[in-house]
Amino acid sequence: MEPVDILIQAGWIIPVVPAGELLVDGAVAVADGRIVALCSREEAERRFQAAETVSLPDHALIPGLVNAHTHAAMTLLRGITDDVPLMEWLNDHIWPREVRWVDADFVRTGTRLAVAEMLRSGTTCFADMYFFPDAAWEVVRETGIRAALGLIFVDFPTPWARCPEEYLEKNRALLQNCPADDQIQWLLAPHAPYSVGDATFERIAELADHANLRVHLHLHETAQEIHESLDRYGERPLARLDRLELVNECLLAAHMVHLTEEEIETVAERGVHVLHCPESNLKLASGFCPVARLADRDAALALGTDGAASNNDLDLIGEMRTAALLAKGVAGDPEALPAARVLEMATLGGAEALHFDHCIGSLEPGKYADIVAVDLGRPETQPCYDPISQIVYAATREQVTDVWVGGQQLLTQRRLTRLDWTALKAEIRPWEIRLAEPLEQLE
């Protein structure tokens, strides 16, 4: 018998590898944090001597979900301002508060809260874009989740840096002092075409080439962004980025709501990763990403929630349902974005975008054991003819019971194992009091 650390037996195993077949009544064997084998329960019992066996006959196992676009620490701003469009939300409500309150402690507490929420909804890896990425880095290490953290660039002063030179200096120092590994990757994160000028984008293109880094930004989010770019630069933001040599498979473009047919073709041909955030786009009434048309052209697609201040949750189980339903409504076609395609976007598609697909994104021997167990044995998801249909169209995040990252169990029967919720709640409370202060008093 082969010795392994854990044997997880489950009613269904959904590997999500392109040719991977659904296993009914199967098992995953894990050793040294990695998947050793996927097989039937009987074969696993014959082959493996496990230190720990977990039996989940009513559950489906899926790869850990990958949130491809968020601003983790913005959990502390959840619900602070709702029901306004993007630029009013940013200019009048979010940015004034960020300037006043965001510091390393804000980011530590907000990111801890985000990690708690993400693990409890099956997310095991996320792409972050926020100030003080060094503080997010600490929390990722402390909690055991995986992340691709953004090295921020904006052409105006913020609590993180005062001028373009300081952003560059801080980002270079982080790259040097905190080397990337299989738990944390770095991304270059210019905020958006309207907050970053050509000179900064030129530096970013150089750094991306030199340090082999990907570039994560907000792109074509609103009609206003396109109009302002035409007025200021005489070109649409995607064309401007193309002139700056950034439109390629290293570009991670969040939103991509407003796209011409020609732009859809360019994005697909060049391998740009589109980070689709349907709930944030709906809530800010930014428009509808043509995700079915992008999928028809085989564009690289991933799924994100955006921050908790515009979504207002970090729930990828719910986001998958919204993405699937919205795509059908927008395309006028019930065949648009089937459940299996959405699950692929939320797992392998995200891992590919974040440059983590060599080690996560699907359940395959050799990859890390980033595994999520979803309880389908509840009234809400019975009877179960098709577990993928149940997960995307019927289940809620409360049905995520157990989560492993690299073979470490970070959620056990919905209880967080490395985060102390009582202590975290106490840490959140002073922020809640400060942030509730009316804006007029900040001026």
Ligand X SMILES: CSC[C@H]1O[C@@H](n2cnc3c(O)ncnc32)[C@H](O)[C@@H]1O
3 Cβ partners below 8 Å, 6+ apart? Answer: 31, 48, 49, 50, 51
Q: Is the peptide bond before 383 cis (omega within 30 degrees of 0)?
A: yes
Q: Which residue, among 144, 164, 93, has the nearest Cα to 411 in the 3D structure?
A: 144
What residues from 57 to 76 belong to the interface with ligand X (CB under 6 A)? 71
By rule CB under 6 A, what string of x and - marks binding of each residue 252-281 to ligand X?
Answer: ----------------------------x-
Nearer to ligand X by C-beta: 60 or 277? 277
How distant, in Å, are the alpha carbons of 130, 185, 222 from that of 284? 19, 30, 9
372 Cβ partners below 8 Å, 6+ apart? Answer: 61, 62, 63, 64, 65, 122, 124, 400, 402, 403
Task: Cite the annotated binding site by residue number.
Answer: 69, 71, 98, 191, 218, 221, 306
Nearer to ligand X by C-beta: 280 or 401? 280
Task: Cite the annotated binding site for substrate by residue number.
Answer: 98, 191, 221, 306
What residues from 301 to 320 belong to the interface with Zn ion (CB under 5 A)? 306
Nearer to ligand X by C-beta: 123 or 311? 311
**Taking contact as CB under 6 A, which single stretch among the options 197-205, 306-314, 330-338, 341-349 is the one that binds ligand X?**
306-314
Strand partners, 70: 128
295 Cβ partners below 8 Å, 6+ apart? Answer: 301, 327, 336, 337, 341
Nearer to Zn ion by C-beta: 77 or 376? 77
Report what 154 binds from ligand X, Zn ion, none; CB cut-off 5-8 Å by kind. ligand X
State the Cα torsion 247-249-252-255 to the nearest 10°.
70
Task: Cite the annotated binding site for Zn(2+) by residue number.
Answer: 69, 71, 218, 306
257 Cβ partners below 8 Å, 6+ apart? Answer: 220, 221, 222, 281, 286, 287, 288, 289
Helix H, strand E, coil C: the string for 287-332 is: CCCCHHHHHHCCCEEEECCCCCCCCCCCCHHHHHHHHHHHHHHHHC
Nearer to ligand X by C-beta: 9 or 312? 312
Tell the smallest beta-carbon distance from residue 373 to Zn ion (Å).
29
Nearer to ligand X by C-beta: 48 or 153? 153
94 binds ligand X (CB under 6 A): yes
Chain residue at closest Cβ approach to ligand X = 191
By rule CB under 6 A, what string of x and - marks binding of each residue 123-162 to ligand X?
Answer: ------xxx--------------------x-x--------
By rule CB under 6 A, what string of x and - marks binding of each residue 179-218 to ligand X?
Answer: ------------xx-------------------------x
| Residues binding ligand X (CB under 6 A) | 71, 86, 90, 94, 98, 129-131, 152, 154, 191-192, 218, 221, 280, 306-307, 310
